[in-house]
Structure 1
Amino acid sequence: MLRLPTSRDPTSSWRRLAAFLRAVSVVGISLCALTPPAAAGLGAETFTLANGMRVVAVPMERPGVVHHAVYYAFGAADDPSGQSGIAHFIEHLMFNGTGTTTDGQYKQIIGRNGGSTNAYTSADVTAYYATIARDRLETVMRLEADRMTGVVFKPENFEAERQVIIEERLQRTDNSPSGVFREQLTAAAWQAHPYGRPLIGWRHEIEALTMEQVEAYYRRHYGPANALLVVAGDIDAESLRPLAERTFGKVAAGGEPVPPRPKEPPHRARVTVEMEDPRVARPRWSRQYPARSYFSGAAREAATLDVLAAVLGGASGRLHRALVVRHKVALAAGAYFDGGKRDGGFFLVYAMPADGTDVSEVEEAVIAELRRVAEEGVEEREVQRAAYRFAAGEIYARDDVSTVAEFVGSTLIKGGTLQDIDGYIEMVRSISAADVAASARTLLAEQATVTGILRPGDAE
């Protein structure tokens, strides 16, 4: 992804950026009156170990602190058919013991050395990361290299983690009306591609997974050929290389590529997903337009959708001003572009009707605003304001070692380049009002939309 990362769960990077932008508006800075700052290159340095593992050092002025992250080129969308949840299951098991560490010792060692560690599974990527003092970096690298291929699978650990994952699914999805609704919307949006499956897996498939299936996936795909190491902070390639060679360089070459994913067929019909639940307090409406992502199409096309989302969404966006402030038909309204997946994305508009307002009324109001952009265009100052927000956001993000590492790692592992990252802000700044209007027209011409309506229901 060429913008701020959203793949971590929760989306802490966006929340930090949102807080920053709110602070900017509070102190009264007029974004449209400022020239978007230029984006300097990250200055990242790369090299490859003899076993095929790629390594990236991102020097930052953070004396004594580094963020260490290993990215694997597969995620939940690469789970074998009928075995959804494998990638996420392995993420949990990676914190158990190896031939040289006991169960849970990885986190204990990181904690004793003053660091913090975690992991995530997205559709395209599985990642493991830690922030730690520079003089303890080799400790993290040794532990991470050890568990790349050395995790010991034990039946008792496997069953314990299965129960943890099922409970996680209960909390996030099965016991949450909005969680179930999002899962159904996603399944409707992807007919053949595994993006339609939940990241955590379908419950019945999680319950059916065997330790042999999960271990076989781990042994087959975890290895240097599928891995990317990113270290950001008080580091450079010259000092990182010997550490990498002493740790990850000792791991035997390996890691089979995952099989190609099924291709998504053309969509030819509009789909509406409606759901009622007594636990829902207020109705919600959304419409999802299929779109090419930064990695599946032209990057400029995706960047234009990012700008369109900025024009329509947010507290100062057209949807909020029209539906919430002026007409008072909605309590919330906005837009979002999901352009960070490898094989495709979507553009989303949404609204929550105000009391006494029907869902159909907010739907008409949202589409009217999108049509206004398409037919009447937008002012150049709106595009400039969006460009400033993106530029300011990147500068803010580059102040944090973990966000920079995630920015670099999640982009490179999905096929992007450092040049893509360094040139992103200039590309955004080059987008015109005419580009944004054309993008809106393309969305309105799309026939294969997915509309979601979540309503309060009667208690049984």
Structure 2
Amino acid sequence: MACLSAGAALAAPGASSKPVPAVAAEAAVQQFTLKNGMQLIVQPDRRAPTAVHMVWVRVGGMDELSGTSGVAHALEHMMFKGSKSVKPGDFSRRVAALGGQENAFTWRDYTGFYQQIPSSRLEDVMKLESDRFANNQWPDSEFKKEIEVIKEERRMRTEDQPRAVLMEQLMAATFMASPYQRPVVGWMNDLDAMTPDDVRDFHRRWYVPANAAVVVVGDVNPAQVRAWAEKYYGSIPARAVPLRKPQIEPQQTGVRRIEVKRPAEQAFVAMAYRVPTLNHVEKLQPDDKDALALLVLSAVLDGYDGARLERALVQGEGQAGGRVADSAGSSANIMGRGPSLFMLTGVPAKGRTAAEVEAALRAQVQKIAEEGVQTEELERVKTQWMASNVYERDSVMGQAQNLGNYWIQDMPLDAEDKLLAELKKINSDDVKAVAAKYFGDDQLTVGTLVPQPLPAGSKAQRPMSGKADMSGSMH
């Protein structure tokens, strides 16, 4: 199985970005509400005769009930197994016959399905996708085969990867009430106990028009797309979206620590700090401004080649005793329907310990809390954000992903522009303030991988970065 990182649309700047011409869209993005409450978002882009068609459903791992973890992801798989008019496996074959590519992804906050096809075949995939959205149907035998595929995916992506096991257990320790504590792929015991009707019930409950959006980007006419959407999606009967009850995470009142012992060559440390979530892009509240400042802080630490963590921990610049880590990373996961985390991670260099890496990571944040950041650092990360944004808009898939991500967060169509404008306003004092405010022990959960001897005759581990794997699960 492949994996898709499907996190917040506004990502940290890349290592190297060269400006390219901006998208010359004929018309601005448009949003429509179909007669059954489903949303349609259309962005014309005439530069090539291609289109991306996506369906985003505002349901994911966080909407599962206890004992059914992994059911959102299992349903994503089963959506490829047929409908009343399409036999198991025929959906993918039909898209391929149209000259297209397709896949799907599941995360805590959402599930998504997409096809990239010649724009002349858009109506065909809209007909196909709307059919399986409304009429997903398959025999029990298909589920019994597919659940074994999902279990193997869990073994390969989590149980056979020591750092993935650590991250899974770190999330379980970090969150007490939030459903973010459960893995998107599901606990193995829940997968063992899952039934075909668990999956069917989840589909019946959550795959309703008012809980979904169709996103189309490419060489298309919005009026024609709207007509097709009304024909194929708008005819799906309207049903109420289930009531979501709040699952507020209680205040943390002390540092939490876990250790995971696994056969591995190197230790690994991951530090999860509770931070505010970005909820608004207009009339920003104090927490929104802090969330953006934390995003900038993460970029200053680890947003480009030679950023602070690499210079200090990996290269050993200014460090007594030299380099501390083989790799180190930072991420600010500030968008989502649940609580947000700021992650610091590192892999100890030979002869150094996880405790030394943890201390060095803390020291880098503390240094910013005391001194702030340099103007040139801020300008560099902001410039790279602008360039990376241009790159995203140069791709029809990138545009569709951003529009879908922001819809999931209930943000406006121009959320990206508004956030970029707000990021430009973040200054050294803002970054200094959040570095001092959010990195105390009462907001921290630390996970440490404690290496155990590798089994005799086993192959050495493939080197991995010090970054946390927060990717979603993809069909």
Could you state the TM-score of these two structures normalised by the residue count of structure 2?
0.87
Partner residue of 1:10? 4
SS of the equivalent of 2:234 reads: helix
* 1:304 is the counterpart of 2:293: yes
Partner residue of 1:341? 336
Cα displacement string for residues 434-453 of structure 1 (whole angstroms, at most 9, x for unaligned residues): 10111101123351301121
* 1:164 is the counterpart of 2:159: no
Does the CA contact (< 8 Å) of 1:91 and 1:119 recur in 2? yes
Does the CA contact (< 8 Å) of 2:106 and 2:184 recur in 1? yes
* 1:86 is the counterpart of 2:71: yes
Structure 1 residues 259 and 294 mapped into 2: Cα distance closer, same or farther (>3 Å)? same
Structure 2: runs of 5 or more not aligned: 456-475
Deviation at 1:206, TM superposition (A): 1.2
- 1:216 aligned to 196, 201, 212, which one? 201
Structure 1 residues 230 and 459 mapped into 2: Cα distance closer, same or farther (>3 Å)? closer
How many Å separate the matches in 2 of 1:201 and 1:71?
A: 21
Does the CA contact (< 8 Å) of 1:288 and 1:449 recur in 2? yes
Does the CA contact (< 8 Å) of 1:13 and 1:403 recur in 2? no
How many Å separate the matches in 2 of 1:121 and 1:415?
A: 18
* 1:227 is the counterpart of 2:212: yes
SS of the equivalent of 1:349 reads: strand
Partner residue of 1:33? none
Structure 1 residues 19 and 267 mapped into 2: Cα distance closer, same or farther (>3 Å)? closer
- 1:117 aligned to 86, 89, 102, which one? 102
Q: Give the RMSD, CA atoms, in angstroms.
A: 2.5
Deviation at 1:286, TM superposition (A): 2.2
Structure 1 residues 13 and 114 mapped into 2: Cα distance closer, same or farther (>3 Å)? farther
> One-letter code of the match for 2:38?
M
- 2:311 aligned to 298, 321, 333, which one? 321
Partner residue of 1:295? 279
Structure 1: runs of 5 or more not aligned: 1-7, 30-36
How many Å separate the matches in 2 of 1:342 and 1:13?
A: 12
Partner residue of 1:365? 360
Cα displacement string for residues 279-329 of structure 1 (whole angstroms, at most 9, x for unaligned residues): x11111221111122238743322211110110114221111111222312
Structure 1 residues 349 and 9 mapped into 2: Cα distance closer, same or farther (>3 Å)? same
> One-letter code of the match for 1:67?
V
Could you state the TM-score of these two structures normalised by the residue count of structure 1?
0.90
- 1:393 aligned to 388, 397, 400, which one? 388
How many Å separate the matches in 2 of 1:112 and 1:39?
A: 29
Does the CA contact (< 8 Å) of 1:286 and 1:452 recur in 2? yes
* 1:425 is the counterpart of 2:415: no
> One-letter code of the match for 2:300?
V
How many Å separate the matches in 2 of 1:370 and 1:409?
A: 33
Cα displacement string for residues 208-262 of structure 1 (whole angstroms, at most 9, x for unaligned residues): 1122222122112212111101001112422211111121122111253353242
Q: Output aligned runs, 1:10-29, within 5 Å.
A: 10-11=4-5, 21-22=15-16
Does the CA contact (< 8 Å) of 1:272 and 1:450 recur in 2? yes
- 2:266 aligned to 282, 287, 295, which one? 282
Does the CA contact (< 8 Å) of 1:67 and 1:129 recur in 2? yes
SS of the equivalent of 1:295 reads: coil
> One-letter code of the match for 1:239?
Q
Structure 1 residues 38 and 10 mapped into 2: Cα distance closer, same or farther (>3 Å)? closer
Deviation at 1:39, TM superposition (A): 11
How many Å separate the matches in 1 of 2:448 and 2:7?
A: 28
Q: Output aligned runs, 1:59-208, within 5 Å.
A: 59-208=44-193
How many Å separate the matches in 2 of 1:12 and 1:18?
A: 13
Deviation at 1:366, TM superposition (A): 1.6
Between stretches 333-342 and 82-91, larger displacement belongs to: 333-342
Structure 1 residues 442 and 9 mapped into 2: Cα distance closer, same or farther (>3 Å)? farther
Q: How many residues align?
A: 440
